[in-house]
Amino acid sequence: MSGKNLRTFTVEEVAKHNKEGDLWITIDSKVYDLTRFADLHPGGAGVLFTDGIAGQDATKAFFGLHRHEVLLKPQYARLQIGTIEGQEETIKPQALDALSKVPYAEPSWLQEGYHSPYYTESHKEFQKACRKFMVEVVYPEALRCEENGKRVSQQVIDKMSENNILAMRLGRGKHLKGRTLLGGVVTPEKFDHFHELIVNTELSRFGTRAFTDGLQAGGVIGLPPVLNFGSPELQATVVPEVLDGKKYIALAITEAFAGSDVAGLQTTAVREGNEWVINGTKKWITNGTFADYFTVGCKTETGFTVILVPRSDEVSTKPIKTAYSSTAGTAYVTFDKVRVPISNTLGKVGKGMQVILSNFNHERWMIASTSLSAQRTVVEECLKWSNQRLVFGKPLNAQPVIRAKLAAMIERVETGQNWLENITYQMNNMSYAEQSDKLAGPIGLLKQFITKTGRETAEDSTQVFGGRAVTVTGMGKLIENFHRTSPYDSILGGAEDVLGDLGVRQAMKKIPRNARL
């Protein structure tokens, strides 16, 4: 409460202001004058005049109904007129960039006194810088865009590009060369998949699922085929444009006709001289409404081919209204006799399946990491809520049924985390080709596990929060967002069941032919 002289009052003095036209209450030693606010109170005026509230210490009642952030908003913070003599504030708002002290709110390597074989001091320093950046630059934008449905502003993209956030989300490699990563906190040579995991984790903690996709997810999945399979000339123009946030790219594989069944796609590319002529439609294309380039899966004479298509008059994009915010830029894309040079082919003609399949591993690992981070936020929300919410005169977590749900949620997120870190460690120690061979199955299974458990946690947390979990604002807003959007993770990048099946089929292929019981 800056800029205002706060007075001190005794409990008895505050108690006298307990009626219409003269209403004070105390919350955690702070005295608020609600006289004029009462009629504007979103929860109604009546509740403020009840016994135990008007003129009284309403701390318990308040935190059973509101998030702490309500008191921090300037329009409400200015209702404070003083403090109670001899009392001190005990419920301190946590700095947004600080590590949470709530058990399981952070992965164990970030919790005091815990150890990890994977993370070094470099990762710790990187995590700190990354959280600060995300909280200061990305979080306010996330809240805005998730609500108004607009694409991420160029201003935020510019700041992200300055720090090479998108470049880091593509993993280690030549594209990082000469780039300053997050103000230089790690060098491109030292950057590894655990740093990348940290970036993914930090940008998906805010309960703003669509925004996570709007934040250049198209680049994370659409640019690697250019980087790994594009001609040197194509790479020289497209890669810097996208990494520097000047242009946007989207991966355009899925169609209304086929999704996980990549072989069933119907978009065609026919060769005419030195050009491809492309016809077809693509559906659910993330960032498609504002993409400048599309990495397109096409049927060609000799099989499946991936081609980079720049936006032109022959490419049209229409927003698709999905269950999450339009900030993700989900589009229906039509290619109508689009002509692009043959040199825009990514990989070999007819060998597109290899391009797409190797790209899928990284995409699925990325979704597993962002999805798990969102799941962990939900665990923290449930632990806090069940501790501060009073039911039948006791905290909600006094109910064994609630504790059983919390146990299940914690077990799921910790299992996912441990498996994810193991796979990340394998990625760190394998070449791209080895990863394609050895990790396609495990990553498929991991993603299936994390998204399936994510939806179980979405259900459990909805029961813990009750009506608030189906309310877009207020106490349960993060639960509502997770419950509504967790199916995305189980669909995007390959449907859950298909991925489970892929994992098992890969394992079946590798069973030694002479293995017998």
Give the interface with ligand HEM as residue ranges (CB under 6 A).
Answer: 25, 32, 34, 41-43, 47-48, 53, 58, 61-62, 65-67, 70, 76, 79, 468, 473-474
Smallest CA-to-CA distance from 171 within 462, 346, 432 is with: 432
Closest to ligand HEM by CB, 61 or 110: 61
Closest to ligand HEM by CB, 204 or 386: 386
* Residue 27 C-beta: closest distance to ligand HEM, Å: 6
Q: Which residue is nearest to ligand HEM (CB)?
A: 43
Distance of alpha carbon 368 from alpha carbon 492, whole angstroms: 11
* Residue 49 C-beta: closest distance to ligand HEM, Å: 9
Closest to ligand HEM by CB, 26 or 375: 26
* C-alpha distances in Å from residue 462, one per residue of 398, 406, 454, 482: 18, 12, 12, 9
Distance of alpha carbon 329 from alpha carbon 513, whole angstroms: 48
Distance of alpha carbon 409 from alpha carbon 335, whole angstroms: 44
Give the count of beta carbons closer than 10 Å to the beta carbon of residue 370.
Answer: 25
* Residue 5 C-beta: closest distance to ligand HEM, Å: 19
Closest to ligand HEM by CB, 346 or 479: 479
Say whether 276 sits in a helix, a strand or coil. strand
First to last CA, the chain: 72
Closest to ligand HEM by CB, 48 or 249: 48
Closest to ligand HEM by CB, 65 or 353: 65
Distance of alpha carbon 250 from alpha carbon 214, whole angstroms: 11
* C-alpha distances in Å from residue 84, one per residue of 77, 78, 174: 16, 16, 60
Distance of alpha carbon 223 from alpha carbon 89, whole angstroms: 50
* Residue 36 C-beta: closest distance to ligand HEM, Å: 12
Closest to ligand HEM by CB, 376 or 389: 389
Smallest CA-to-CA distance from 366 within 290, 463, 286 is with: 286
Amino acid code (one letter) for 376: R
* E-assigned strand segments in 116-246: none
Distance of alpha carbon 189 from alpha carbon 393, whole angstroms: 57
Amino acid code (one letter) for 76: Y
Q: Which residues, 6+ apart, have CB-to-CB distance to 89 below 8 Å?
A: 28, 29, 30, 83
Closest to ligand HEM by CB, 80 or 428: 80
| DSSP string for residues in 67-98 | -THHHHSHHHHTTEEEEETT-----PPPPTTS
Closest to ligand HEM by CB, 429 or 473: 473
